[in-house]
Amino acid sequence: MVFSSRLYAILNALQSPCGCAAAMIFWLNAVAIESDAQNAFEVRGENVLRAPAGGSEIIITTTSRVAGAIDSVRWQDHEFINSFDHGRQLQSASNLDVDGFLFNEAFNPTEAGSESDADGPTSSSNLLWITASHRDLVSVTQMAFWLKPGAKSGNHAALNSTVVSNHLLTKHLQLGEPDFEHAIRYAVTYTLPANEHHRRATFEAITGYMPFEFSSFHRLLPNDGSLEAIDAGPGEQAHPIVASTSDGRFAMGAWSPDKSRTNHQPCTYGRWHFAIDKVNKWNCVFREISDRGLDPGEYHYVIWVAVGNREQVRSTLHRLQQRHALQQ
């Protein structure tokens, strides 16, 4: 297959000493990627990361089916992700205004693909680059819009005119580290293209769609690191969320030390219980707002995800918070 000249330059930039920043600068200049067949190429997304944790091991799998997004997380031979369509993964997405109008899913670049990909074997998103070794993975994805042009979410029509966006998502996973074997460092960078104008962006830096049995939700309290049971929402609040099975044997939670770039606000944490679809969801969201317009370029966030039983997840997230406080 033949590489597009623009993609070839992006790949070179990613491997340069400047890393992602050089690639993103190039993207701002290039803006669009050729999609004609003669310039098409395929990057395979099949990778497996694994590391010991709690007498077992955490196993993370990415696949081409969802453009390199996380298709599976397993621990003690138990699945933590309900990867049914191209929205239900451990993945990242964004939702932005167009001409001042901001509606759920109406302008919604999504890492794993689009609604129309359904439960099929391929993704509308373009996986541009991926590399993995043992416990580390880096990927770059040109995200598809969740809605195809002309489709609707509720009463609102898609505001995008193409299937694939010009929004890049770069993620860097690091599975486990000394004293934090249940932790996953999930660093994500969104790149807004230079030829678009947005005043508001909701960056769903990470979301996890979990099997229906993960129906218990708790929030991590800031002072003593204890867990407080909360309802299944839907809604967002200020404290890290832990989703678990009712017996507490299996759990996943997340916490971010970062704040939004424009207004320096911490993220919020949401949770949902979808009874009809038999799936539960949590997320970590940053909102960027600028009346004069958001700057094109990079918006970077780090999220810590913990996998294990409920107590292991609680302890991991609380100790990460304590370590961060000591480093400030």
CA dist., res. 271 & res. 230, Å (int): 10
Q: Are residues 72 and 123 in the same domain?
A: yes
Per-residue confidence of the chain (328 residues) as pLDDT tens digits?
333 444 544 544 444 444 454 444 444 444 444 443 334 568 999 999 999 999 999 999 999 999 999 999 999 999 999 999 999 999 999 999 999 999 999 999 999 999 999 999 999 999 999 999 989 999 999 999 999 999 999 999 999 999 999 999 999 999 999 999 999 999 999 999 999 999 999 999 999 999 999 999 999 999 899 999 999 999 999 999 999 999 999 999 999 999 999 999 999 999 999 999 999 999 999 999 999 999 999 999 999 999 999 999 999 999 999 999 999 8
- Domain of residue 1 covers 1-41
Q: What is the DSSP string of 250-273?
A: SEEEEE---B-TTT-PBPEEEEEE
How many domains does the structure of the chain reveal?
2
Predicted confidence at residue 89, as pLDDT, reads 98
Q: Are residues 18 and 127 in the same domain?
A: no
Supply the CATH number for residue 107's domain. 2.70.98
CA dist., res. 172 & res. 186, Å (int): 6
Predicted confidence at residue 20, as pLDDT, reads 52
CA distances from 144 to 39, 101, 201, 291 (A): 18, 20, 16, 26
CA distances from 132 to 20, 61, 309 (A): 16, 11, 27
Q: Are residues 15 and 101 in the same domain?
A: no
CA dist., res. 115 & res. 180, Å (int): 36
Q: Are residues 94 and 227 in the same domain?
A: yes
Contacts of 37 (CB under 8 A, 6+ apart): none
On whether the pTM is more than 0.75, the answer is yes
Q: Are residues 63 and 190 in the same domain?
A: yes
